[in-house]
């Protein structure tokens, strides 16, 4: 009899504490990709990235034009060239092709590095604002809806986008 009483008492205590825990849990959510899209700093960073990409694109196009010119000249004169000159021109074409590939890889890496350098402070600023809003408003968890991992979004979860926008001074 005492054992049943103890088990019943333990069950009541556990259920009461679980209910109390559920009542103190405060959930918030935000779509961080939408937040980042409206941050004014992102537009300036994106313009700098596009400018860098256009510079590299101009250089690649110039190299491609030079390559095309060399190939056309080679094809037109191939039959009249000596074996040594033909091999020299083929090597020049191959070298230019290799330089183009190397430059293209360099350009892609440089653009990626620039993107990371320019966007990291913006991501950090947004993340800091989300953390501050979470702490100031007593949220237990803030879920990011842009990641696609959230399987359910309860109507009791609060959208903190307006609070974060206010924190960042965004209209």
> pLDDT by residue (tens digit) across 65-78?
999 999 999 999 98
Q: Is the pLDDT of residue 9 over 50?
A: no
Q: In this structure, are residues 161 and 34 in contact, taking their beta carbons and an 8 Å threshold? A: yes
Mean pLDDT of the chain: 85
Q: Give 11's pLDDT tier (boundaries 50, 70, 90).
A: very low
Residue 142, beta-bridge partner list: 28
- Return the pLDDT at 2: 52
Q: Is the pLDDT of residue 19 over 50?
A: no
Q: Classify the C-alpha dihedral 55-58-63-64 as positive or negative.
A: positive
Q: Is the pLDDT of residue 27 over 70?
A: yes
Question: Rounded mean pLDDT of 108-136?
Answer: 94
Q: Give 102's pLDDT tier (boundaries 50, 70, 90).
A: very high
CA-CA distance, 7 to 11, in Å (whole number)?
Answer: 6
Question: Rounded mean pLDDT of 45-66?
Answer: 96
Residue boundaries of the structural domains of the chain: 25-168
User: Tokens representing 131?
Assistant: 């953390």
Q: Is the pTM of this model over 0.75?
A: no
- Return the pLDDT at 3: 56
3-state secondary structure of 63: helix
**Domain 25-168, CATH number (from 1.10.760, 2.40.50, 3.10.450, 3.30.910):** 3.30.910
């Amino acid at each position: 009899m005492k054992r049943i009483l103890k088990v019943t008492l333990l069950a009541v205590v556990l259920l009461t504490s679980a209910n109390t825990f559920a009542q103190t849990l405060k959930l918030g959510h935000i779509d961080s990709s939408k937040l980042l899209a409206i941050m004014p700093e992102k537009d300036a960073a994106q313009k700098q990235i596009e400018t860098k990409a256009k510079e590299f694109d101009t250089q690649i196009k110039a190299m491609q034009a030079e390559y095309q010119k060399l190939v056309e000249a080679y094809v037109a004169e191939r039959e009249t060239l000596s074996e040594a000159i033909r091999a020299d021109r083929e090597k020049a074409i191959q070298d230019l092709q290799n330089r183009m590939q190397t430059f293209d890889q360099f350009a892609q890496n440089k653009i990626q590095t620039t993107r990371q350098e320019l966007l990291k402070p913006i991501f950090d600023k947004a993340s800091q604002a989300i953390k501050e809003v979470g702490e100031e408003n007593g949220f237990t968890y803030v879920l990011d809806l842009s990641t696609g991992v959230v399987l359910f979004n309860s109507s009791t979860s609060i959208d903190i986008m307006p609070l974060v926008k206010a924190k960042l001074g965004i209209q």
